[in-house]
Amino acid sequence: MSLNPIVLSIPIFFILIGIEVIYDRITHKHLYRLNDAVSNISCGIFEQITGTFAKVFTVMLYVFTYDHFRFFTVPDTWYWLLILFLGVDFFYYWAHRMSHEINLFWLGHVVHHQSEEYNLSVALRQGAMQKVFTAGFYLPLALLGFSPTWFLVLAAYNTLYQFWIHTEAIRNLGPLEYVFNTPSHHRVHHGRNPKYIDRNHAGTLIIWDRLFGTFQKEEEKVVYGITTPTQCWDPVSAHLRPFTSLFADFKLVKEWPDKIRLLFMKPGWLPEKYGGYRAPKKVEPESYHKFDTRLNLEMNYYLLVQFLFILGGASFFLFNLSNLSGTEQLTIAVLITVSVMSTGFLFEAHPWAAWAEYARLLITGLVLLLLIRETSSFPALAISISLIVLLSCFWVYRNYHVPILKTGME
């Protein structure tokens, strides 16, 4: 396949997000906040951009195992594809479950759970390291002889299925709740309520949770997020902070056997001599305060428009990857990463964020001019890019000085 089915589905994702936003405005359920939604999608952009390089390891690991170590060659018939679908879903369950129960694997998955909202934009919030940590779980399928092409297709559709279950707009699906993973089941999975933690790890079929004892029905109101909120909108910081948190525990524990155990024990674990397991605290939905930062309306409009530019650039990158040279791929990837970081810094209202944005705008303009310098329409494009950069800098200069209200967990 020339393009990942997930990349091909990007327009559908945003159409459905738009429909949910309209539903949210009509019903006044307050499912969306601009800073949170942009942060979620920024994490998804960062994961997709870095994934174009990480797949050299993750995809090739499966291909290498299939090419050199498979026991059989499974034909691509409909009944074998049905078995492969069940196999992908089964191993997804265990990869996902271990991503919650092992500290090292949690580093790759925690990003997906950091949002304190629950809407379709959360489905796009993915960890850049997750596939690196979980790629090995699917190797039994390669050993059995299921072709890499069909494995990648069904793994992609397993991921696509899970997009629509990240919503509060659908409450209960009756008899389907017994077999399939649904919005109700997945809301539980995203809860930080103690009774909901590490439950409902299913991809498509909830039967695995029912079989292996990790099923939990949705009962009390769900409080979304992780037990130690990340409290940032920058996607790169969101990826790095779990590493720094685990490294702090790693430094605290002095004995090397316990240091190694720490990497493979569940999140929150410490040896008894250091206080033992730190159980999740009970949360009260009515008194819980989500992390938030508030900018004036003009800056929110600015960030929304800039983010649409960034989203367009990321889409261009993903859809035209095979037409770009290695240098162009790396340059654009770095540029998009810096752009989503700057957007996050502005949302976080750092005093220096405006200067970071000025630098980002100027560098972006220069890089774009270099990339298009050989095109026939260069003069018109150069004028347009220069005007956008200058107007953007002026807008930030005029509007990024309004008092900011910050709130967080209390």
Instruction: Tell me the domain boundaries of the chain.
Output: 5-212, 237-274, 295-407
Given a cut of 50, whether residue 281 has pLDDT beyond it is: yes
Please check whether residue 143 is in contact with residue 71, taking contact to mean a CB–CB distance below 8 angstroms. yes
Q: Record the pTM.
A: 0.94
- What does the pLDDT read at residue 409? 41
Sign of the CA dihedral 249, 255, 261, 263? positive
Please check whether residue 237 is in contact with residue 344, taking contact to mean a CB–CB distance below 8 angstroms. yes
Given a cut of 70, whether residue 405 has pLDDT beyond it is: no
When pLDDT is cut at 50, 70 and 90, the band that residue 410 belongs to is very low
- What does the pLDDT read at residue 2? 55
What DSSP designation does 166 have? S
pLDDT in tens, 136-163: 999 999 999 999 999 999 999 999 999 9
d(CA 77, CA 1): 18
Query: Which residues is 224 bridged to in the sheet?
Result: 191
Between vectors from CA 107 to CA 105 and to CA 109, what angle results, nearest 5°? 75
Given a cut of 90, whether residue 285 has pLDDT beyond it is: no
Average pLDDT over residues 288-309: 94
Average pLDDT over residues 321-336: 93
- What does the pLDDT read at residue 375? 87
Q: Which two tokens stand for residue 127?
A: 């960890």
Average pLDDT over residues 226-254: 96
pLDDT in tens, 332-363: 999 999 999 999 999 999 999 999 999 999 99
Residue 297: Cβ within 10 Å count: 9
- Mean pLDDT, the chain, as a whole number? 94
d(CA 328, CA 137): 33
- What does the pLDDT read at residue 331? 95
Residue 22: Cβ within 10 Å count: 10
When pLDDT is cut at 50, 70 and 90, the band that residue 1 belongs to is very low
d(CA 88, CA 65): 16
When pLDDT is cut at 50, 70 and 90, the band that residue 272 belongs to is very high
DSSP state letters, 51-117: HHHHHHHHHHHHHHHHHHH-S------HHHHHHHHHHHHHHHHHHHHHHHHSHHHHHHHGGGG--SS
Query: Which residues is 180 bridged to in the sheet?
Result: 205
The phi-psi region of residue 213 (left if phi > 0; otherwise alpha if psi is between -120 and 50; otherwise beta) is: left
Given a cut of 80, whether residue 28 has pLDDT beyond it is: yes
- What does the pLDDT read at residue 55? 82
Given a cut of 60, whether residue 291 has pLDDT beyond it is: yes
d(CA 230, CA 328): 33
- What does the pLDDT read at residue 406? 53
Given a cut of 60, whether residue 388 has pLDDT beyond it is: yes
